Chain A
Amino acid sequence: MTALVKICLIGITAIIIIALIKIYNPEFTVEVTLCASIIMLYFIVENLKYGFDFISEIYGGLTYGREYFPVILKVLGIAYITEFASAICQDAGEKSIAGKIELAGKVAIFFAALPVFVSLLDLLDNLI
């Protein structure tokens, strides 16, 4: 709960600073937004770690899906970074670059999730 409050406060202070900087130095707004989003994402990822320790214990008990838990983490990491970069580009007003980054993220997620799909097909073959 306190982490949530901290993240919201960081966001608000960042907005105030951006409004201030926009008057004096318009080209610095991109850097300030970048820095604020890095700080916020850092706290989010840090809190996410506790959830992952818990989930990895549960996944330890599974028989079939145990080796696919890292894939979920990888896909989540890819999603985080692509969303982070594309949001920064959209803030700076570059919609097309943001679209390219999201496309790259989709391709990366597809490749990360490929082994899961293949093993699922093998499982179906065995069943039929």
Chain B
Amino acid sequence: MSFDIDVLFKIAAIGIAIALLNQILNKAGREEEAMMTTLAGVIIVLAIIIKMISEFFDTVKVFLEF
């Protein structure tokens, strides 16, 4: 994962999109699907974050001969 700012914007976009979808699905009367999409969004963002954390820890290990 690259360490520049657009990852932050990507996560923000995912968050807003998920919130939007949630509202639409709730209004359409499908609460279960709304909860599913929220869960999916959270999992996607967690996957991105965990990949970044592992890559960051590798760079720290390499830089500081940890």
A interface with B by C-beta (< 8 Å): 10, 13-14, 17, 20-21, 24-25, 27-28, 31-32, 34-36, 38-39, 41-43, 45-46, 48-49, 52, 70, 73-74, 76-78, 80-81
Query: Are A39 and B63 in touch, CB under 8 angstroms?
Result: no
Q: Interface size (B, Cβ < 8 Å)?
A: 31
A41's partner among B12, B42, B56 (CB-CB below 8 A) is B56
Known A28-B45, A77-B64, A81-B60; judge A39-B7 contact (CB<8 A).
yes
Main secondary structure of the interface of B (DSSP, over half): helix
B9's partner among A17, A49, A76 (CB-CB below 8 A) is A17
Query: Are B11 and A28 in touch, CB under 8 angstroms?
Result: yes
Q: Let me know if B18 is at the binding interface, CB within 8 A.
A: yes
A-B contacts counted at CB < 8 A amount to 89
Query: Are B15 and A70 in touch, CB under 8 angstroms?
Result: no
Query: Are B63 and A25 in touch, CB under 8 angstroms?
Result: no
Q: Which B residue sits closest to A36, measured CB to CB?
A: B8
Q: What is the CA–CA distance of A114 and B53 in the complex, to the nearest angstrom?
A: 29
